[in-house]
Chains A and B, each alone.
Chain A
Amino acid sequence: MEMKTKAILQVIIVLMAGAAVTILSSDGFAKNIESYDDGEPHAISIDGVEPTRENILNGTYPIQRNLVLCTMGEPEGDAKAFLDWILSPEGQAIVSEEFIPMSSEDAPVPGEPSDGAVVRVGGSTSIQQTMMLLAEAYMMKHPGVTVTVQGGGSGAGASGTINGTLDIGMCSRDLKKSELEKGLVSTYMGVDAVVAIANGAGVDGVTMGQLARLFNGDYDHWSDIGGGERPVAVVSREDGSGTRECFDNAMSAAVDGWELKEYCVTFNNTGGVINMVNSAKGSIGYISIGQLNNL
């Protein structure tokens, strides 16, 4: 046989052997996961408590946090007018688009702001979006008033109010003792709850301990807690996020020495978490309750 033909034959034989090994060995890894039907993306109840408005307001839903607006001393003047308006039914309607509003029965009647007033608001980025909507609606109602909104985080909101660069600070947590001692006064604007969402898990509810162990990597397959065969794919918010802080605190309270699993996809916004959980079967993540309708 000619050398060339031999060489071509050799290439073909090696290629076929490679294909055979690939097919044989891939038999094991395609466990036909896709055929297993285990439901759509959904919110998970914790200890049997569904994340609903009632359960959050009466305090039975375990992962929640207060949304606080702080002022230096009792609110007065234009800041008070704006705060009172936020607590009025009109303002709370906007708050309810993302968060659980306060009960508005004993809400004060908002006073008129002075013309040309400037109210500077800043702090928690979790509240920032809602605050921007509030500010816009308020400015529409009172054309002479300017409300500026900036981010920076809860800590920056409190410290900015203390040193006077802000009129109102936004904190997505209760004020710390040290901050209260410096003269800050808190006004509650609503409640936020963090809801665990899962896709293709095969479970509808977990206990707090199970949730914590799903997120720290102790359970790495859903079958560990009676769900489907899929591996648990954890989606998280980035370090520094208020939602993450709230979630981490609840988890640490449930399991001693709890730490988030390192192998998790991280996003710095709720939309990313929702997108990822929607697209990846077997995934679990957590979001602010106001965003549940986007799931």
Chain B
Amino acid sequence: MGTAVFKNVGRDGIPGFALLCISSLTVLIIILIIAFTAFNGMGILEETGLTDFLFGTDWSPSSGEYGALPMITGTILVTLGAMVFAFPLGLGAAVYISEIASPGMRGILKPLCEIFSGIPSVVYGFFGLVVLVPLLSDLLPEQIMFGSSWLAGSILLGIMALPTVISVSEDAIHSVPGSYREASLALGATRWETISRIVVPAAVSGISSALILGIGRAIGETMAVMMVTGNATIIPDPLWNVFSLISTMTGILALEMPEVVVGSMHYSALFMLGLVLMVMVLMVNMASRSIVNRTRRKFGYGDEKDGLWKRMTGGADIMPANMRVFIERNRGTLLESGLYILTFVGLWMFSSLLFGDVEGLILAALGVALVHSIRRLTGSVDSTCRQRMAETALKGIMVLVMGILVVILGYILIRGLPALDWEFLTAAPTDGGKTGGIMPAIVGTLELLAGTAAIALPLGLLTGIYLAEYAKDTHVTRIIREAIDILNGTPSIVFGLFGLSFLVMFMGFGYSMIAGWFALAFMILPVVIRTTEEAIRTVPNELREASRALGATKWQTIVKVVVPAAMGGITTGSILSLGRAAGETAPIMFTAVVAFQPHLAGSVFEPVMALPYHLYYLAAEVPGATDMQFGCAAVLLIIVLLMFGAASLIRNHYNRKVKW
């Protein structure tokens, strides 16, 4: 009996330790990423110093000026603009899906949103380049000479962030307990009153977390922004000039990295820029996490820790008492005047860009009058009528959002599908991409995916198993989780920089398929780990207990019982993350892809072509290859959407079939 127990322990101990070692790889990866980015970026700090780098306004590396402020400002402004566009639309659509749409409609709209979130960045960029940019320069030829502008970048990023904002805030709104709604309705409130006064305020932290997630996604975005902002390293003048050219950190990285001399000061400055980008995204993600934690505490989960603010101020009320009373008493008036002032200033800022200063003032005043009279109008009707107006408005938002996404998808597919024929799919490009086909790019993308899957899936699966089944709440586990969080938030272009400095140069892989595999694998690893862990956690404990009671070891239980039971979630997560990898350009553009390689790669140490990069190349570098561009975009879209669609189907299948 004693030996049997000993055997069991022995068999369990080894997988546990091995899994811990594998899980620690994530920590190693994140350390390597930070170390190599920082190490390569240090040179510039010795040259200029941190302050001059962060706050210098002149970026012209060839004459030795390395001021990153224009790009940092640009990143913030473009992101803010995107959120001004995406947040109201996203929130409205989320409220509609969760509260107003019929269950059947919800079943269609939600998966549709998920599928839209899979459209690759480079496809958005391509759409922006061929539709949005010419449209803007036609509409406002005097203000937007080129069409490329902050406005174009923000609109495009906003559209890209929409699916994320909708999904996350819909989850938050949907998880508000039904009893809240019932209580409000029972008190005689209309559905709209319930939504606006009860449900949305109750879900406010989830919604702000959606906003921050959207910001995080927008800051790290590379290809789409780079293709439509013009990449001029200037600070807009005036600061709110949305028609100005602008540049973002990601855009400049993608633009200047390919030609920079390795080891030069310019090279070092670009790496430092990458590090600054990473820190910014990290800060945004930390803010998001602290909001989520605060909510969990509010609803009674998690430990009762004081927030940073309370810890800093010691919970003391820093506002003078009479001021607080004043605010409490005049809350309505204050809010109202705030609304009017905001409307006035906002309208004046933008109308003075378009028209003269005087006309701007008049228009702003009229805008305030309009807001006022609309408020009077809504105030003068009864609550049923208001309810109908609100529902119509929300429905309008939903139609608009779906309309935008369907138009993008439809435009590319309708123009791209006719270009597809057998030759296009099976021939190599000729004449610099203007004629011929895209076969090497399709094969290259599939090869990249296969290698990425071979690296990321086993690693992710084993780490996920470790975290769900073995990990106790120790320091080591916490460090691993932290590493996964950081890895998850790292912008895709940073994986490109890391791939270039570590895989291509340090490891000596050169521009090669294998370097691309690792860069992509590291990028999707955190998603695979998380979805695996979540899937395994949903497997009920009874199954484990039954298996152990029958004499199986822990490892046997995991392999034979738990993992098969969680297979649905694991597969879905894996396909989703591979779909993301298929559409990514930034991590492979400095590591694995070349613009032109008519033969298939002979070994893993040779570079390949890939669909997203080929689309970028055709759209940005080859004048007059319209058919090829749309064909390539359509093929890429079809591949990615098929993967996302498959994941959605598998999830639905398991959700319906498997009931614990």
Structural contact, B367 and A153, CB atoms closer than 8 A: no
How many residues on A have C-beta within 8 angstroms of the other chain's C-beta atoms?
Answer: 68
Structural contact, A4 and B511, CB atoms closer than 8 A: no
Contact flags (1/0) for B598-628 with A, using CB distance below 8 Å? 1000000000000000000000111110000
Structural contact, A150 and B377, CB atoms closer than 8 A: no
Structural contact, B366 and A18, CB atoms closer than 8 A: yes
Structural contact, B261 and A279, CB atoms closer than 8 A: no
Across-interface contacts of A233 in B (CB, < 8 A): 145-146
Structural contact, B620 and A18, CB atoms closer than 8 A: no
B304 at the interface (CB under 8 A from A): no
When C-beta atoms are compared, the residue in chain A nearest to B432 turns out to be A129
Across-interface contacts of A274 in B (CB, < 8 A): 623
Contact flags (1/0) for B617-660 with A, using CB distance below 8 Å? 00011111000000000000000000000000000000000000
When C-beta atoms are compared, the residue in chain A nearest to B434 turns out to be A294
Which residues of chain B (357-380) have a CB below 8 Å from chain A? 359, 362-363, 366-367, 369-370, 373-374, 376-377, 379-380
Structural contact, A265 and B146, CB atoms closer than 8 A: yes
Across-interface contacts of A282 in B (CB, < 8 A): 145
Across-interface contacts of B63 in A (CB, < 8 A): 259
Which residues of chain B (133-155) have a CB below 8 Å from chain A? 134, 137, 141-142, 145-148
A235 to B620, CA, bound (A): 14
Q: Which of the segments B115-123, B228-236, B540-548, B552-560 contacts the partner chain?
A: B228-236
CB distance from A216 to the nearest CB of B (A): 12
Which one of B256, B261, B373 contacts A238 once the chains associate, using CB atoms below 8 Å?
B256
Structural contact, B362 and A8, CB atoms closer than 8 A: no
A277 to B259, CA, bound (A): 22
A6 to B230, CA, bound (A): 48
A240 at the interface (CB under 8 A from B): yes
A272 at the interface (CB under 8 A from B): yes
CB distance from B645 to the nearest CB of A (A): 33
A260 at the interface (CB under 8 A from B): yes
CB distance from B277 to the nearest CB of A (A): 18
Structural contact, A125 and B510, CB atoms closer than 8 A: no
When C-beta atoms are compared, the residue in chain B nearest to A30 turns out to be B142
Across-interface contacts of A17 in B (CB, < 8 A): 366
Structural contact, A264 and B232, CB atoms closer than 8 A: yes
A111 to B354, CA, bound (A): 68
How many residues on B have C-beta within 8 angstroms of the other chain's C-beta atoms?
Answer: 57
Contact A239:B60 (CB < 8 A) given known A7-B377, A7-B380: yes
B21 at the interface (CB under 8 A from A): no
A260 to B623, CA, bound (A): 25
Which B residues are closer than 8 A to A by beta carbons? 59-63, 134, 137, 141-142, 145-148, 230-234, 244-245, 247, 255-256, 258-262, 264, 266, 354-356, 359, 362-363, 366-367, 369-370, 373-374, 376-377, 379-381, 510-511, 595-596, 598, 620-624
Which residues of chain A (1-43) have a CB below 8 Å from chain B? 3-4, 6-8, 10-11, 14-15, 17-18, 21-22, 24-26, 28-31, 33-34
Structural contact, B621 and A270, CB atoms closer than 8 A: yes
Contact A150:B510 (CB < 8 A) given known A26-B355, A271-B623, A294-B624: yes
Across-interface contacts of A235 in B (CB, < 8 A): 146
Structural contact, B621 and A18, CB atoms closer than 8 A: no
Across-interface contacts of B264 in A (CB, < 8 A): 155
Contact A240:B256 (CB < 8 A) given known A18-B370, A265-B148, A271-B623: yes
A144 at the interface (CB under 8 A from B): no
Which one of A231, A244, A248, A279 contacts B147 once the chains associate, using CB atoms below 8 Å?
A279
A262 at the interface (CB under 8 A from B): yes
Which one of A21, A238, A272 contacts B259 once the chains associate, using CB atoms below 8 Å?
A238
Structural contact, B355 and A25, CB atoms closer than 8 A: yes
Across-interface contacts of B134 in A (CB, < 8 A): 279
Which one of B366, B511, B622 contacts A150 once the chains associate, using CB atoms below 8 Å?
B511
Across-interface contacts of B141 in A (CB, < 8 A): 33-34, 281
Structural contact, B362 and A240, CB atoms closer than 8 A: no
CB distance from A3 to the nearest CB of B (A): 4
Structural contact, B232 and A268, CB atoms closer than 8 A: no
Contact A239:B258 (CB < 8 A) given known A4-B380, A269-B620: no
Across-interface contacts of A8 in B (CB, < 8 A): 377
Structural contact, B231 and A14, CB atoms closer than 8 A: no
Structural contact, B232 and A262, CB atoms closer than 8 A: yes
Q: List 21 A-B contacts (CB under 8 A).
A: A14-B366, A21-B359, A21-B366, A25-B359, A29-B355, A30-B142, A33-B142, A151-B259, A233-B145, A238-B256, A239-B266, A240-B62, A242-B259, A264-B232, A265-B231, A266-B230, A267-B255, A270-B621, A271-B621, A275-B620, A280-B146
When C-beta atoms are compared, the residue in chain B nearest to A22 turns out to be B363
Structural contact, A283 and B266, CB atoms closer than 8 A: no
CB distance from B129 to the nearest CB of A (A): 8
Structural contact, A25 and B147, CB atoms closer than 8 A: no
CB distance from A137 to the nearest CB of B (A): 12
Contact A278:B623 (CB < 8 A) given known A11-B374, A240-B256, A263-B245: yes
When C-beta atoms are compared, the residue in chain A nearest to B226 turns out to be A268
A132 to B595, CA, bound (A): 11
When C-beta atoms are compared, the residue in chain A nearest to B227 turns out to be A272
A242 to B234, CA, bound (A): 22
A18 to B367, CA, bound (A): 8
Contact A240:B359 (CB < 8 A) given known A150-B510, A259-B63, A265-B230: no
Query: Which of B61, B259, B354, B362 neighbours the largest number of chain A CB atoms within 10 Å of its CB?
Result: B259
